[in-house]
């Protein structure tokens, strides 16, 4: 008897992996259309998104056959509003918040749709920091902001699923708990042991170098996810200046 807690959709979601190696195989146009239509069918506030597509795989991350860039798009809404003799007065930060939600929902629907059709995907999260270059490449109008990249193609690898935090560090009922040392250590162990068992960081040569006067005490036998993420958040982008400048170049003024 089938376990009622699971079905084909949940099984698909639980098997998600980021794919970074792709077959040299074209993705048919009807598949591209299906993925995009599935993305559009996500919940939305304003449909404040647009999707860019490149097939120039030699320029793509991991040389994936397809590279989508999902954007926050307030320009399109302003054009529609103009036909009704309206203009946007909502502040840019609020416009961005709604647009970020819309674009994120669409992107996730696209991933689910692609994986259901046997394709592999990988999000490229650093896109916002290169928004000006993407805007130039795709001739984007003001009020269109690239949020996230998405590589898509037929997988040429079969990596395992990556660890996640224990559910009791994720699902909080009624109130946010006091995160005691025992809970934190248990969550660290779940993540770190999982990545170490897959030899993930050694295989990807992905250890982040230390800056400042911290002494290096980790090698690939001990370096794992919680140290990796700590080095990102503990060393990178201490100022919001660069990101605010990218928003400003795209027509979003959020610090006035």
Where a domain ends, among 108, 138, 158?
158
Same domain, 182 and 96: no
Same domain, 26 and 90: yes
Tokens of 225: 């996810």
Give the pLDDT confidence of 137-180 residue by residue, as tens digits: 999 999 999 999 999 999 999 999 999 999 999 999 999 999 99
Question: Which CATH number does the domain housing residue 73 bear?
Answer: 3.40.109.10
How far apart are the C-alpha atoms of 250 and 247, rounded to whole Å? 5
209 lies in a domain?
A: yes
* SS3 of residue 20 by DSSP: coil
Same domain, 208 and 153: no
The model's pTM is 0.94
Same domain, 184 and 78: no
Same domain, 55 and 85: yes
How far apart are the C-alpha atoms of 172 and 247, rounded to whole Å? 34
pLDDT of res. 2: 63
Helix ranges (H only) for 15-130 are 29-40, 75-82, 92-116
Same domain, 173 and 139: no
- Edge-to-edge strands of the sheet including 49-54? 49-54, 66-73, 144-153, 120-124
Total domains present in the chain = 2
Same domain, 31 and 84: yes
Q: Which residues contact residue 137 at a Cβ distance below 8 angstroms, ignoring those fewer than 6 apart? A: none
Residue 219: which domain range? 167-235
Same domain, 112 and 144: yes
How far apart are the C-alpha atoms of 113 and 12, rounded to whole Å? 10
For helices 181-197 and 225-235, the axis angle rounded to 10 degrees is 110
Same domain, 44 and 89: yes
Count of alpha carbons within 13 Å of 15, Cβ hemisphere only? 14
205, burial (CB in 10 Å: exposed 0-12, middle 13-18, buried 19+): exposed
Same domain, 16 and 35: yes
| Tens digit of each residue's pLDDT, the chain (256 residues) | 567 778 999 999 999 999 999 999 999 999 999 999 999 999 999 999 999 999 999 999 999 999 999 999 999 999 999 999 999 999 999 999 999 999 999 999 999 999 999 999 999 999 999 999 999 999 999 999 999 999 999 999 999 999 999 999 999 999 999 999 999 999 999 999 999 999 999 999 999 999 989 999 999 999 999 999 999 999 999 999 999 999 999 999 997 6
């Amino acid at each position: 008897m089938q376990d009622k807690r699971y079905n084909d959709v949940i099984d698909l979601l639980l098997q998600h992996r980021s794919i970074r190696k792709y077959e040299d195989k074209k993705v048919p146009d009807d598949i591209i259309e299906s993925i995009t239509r599935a993305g559009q069918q996500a919940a939305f506030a304003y449909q404040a998104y647009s999707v860019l597509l490149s097939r120039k795989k030699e320029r793509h991350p991991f040389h994936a056959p397809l590279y989508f860039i999902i954007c926050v798009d307030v320009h399109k809404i302003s054009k529609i509003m103009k036909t009704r003799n309206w203009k946007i007065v909502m502040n840019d930060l609020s416009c961005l918040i709604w647009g970020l939600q819309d674009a994120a929902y669409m992107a996730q629907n696209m991933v689910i749709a692609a994986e259901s059709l046997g394709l592999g995907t990988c999000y490229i999260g650093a896109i916002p920091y290169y928004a000006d270059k993407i805007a130039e490449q795709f001739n984007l109008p003001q009020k269109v902001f690239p949020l996230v990249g998405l590589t898509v193609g037929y997988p040429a690898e079969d990596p395992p699923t990556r660890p996640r935090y224990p559910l009791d560090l994720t699902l909080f009922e009624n109130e946010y708990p006091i995160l005691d040392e025992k809970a934190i250590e248990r969550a660290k162990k779940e993540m770190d042991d999982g990545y170490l068992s897959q030899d993930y960081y050694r295989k990807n040569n992905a250890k982040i170098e230390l800056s400042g006067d911290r002494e290096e005490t980790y090698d690939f036998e001990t370096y794992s996810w919680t140290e990796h993420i700590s080095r990102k958040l503990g060393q990178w982008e201490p100022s919001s200046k660069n990101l605010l400048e990218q928003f400003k170049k795209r027509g979003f003024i959020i610090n006035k």
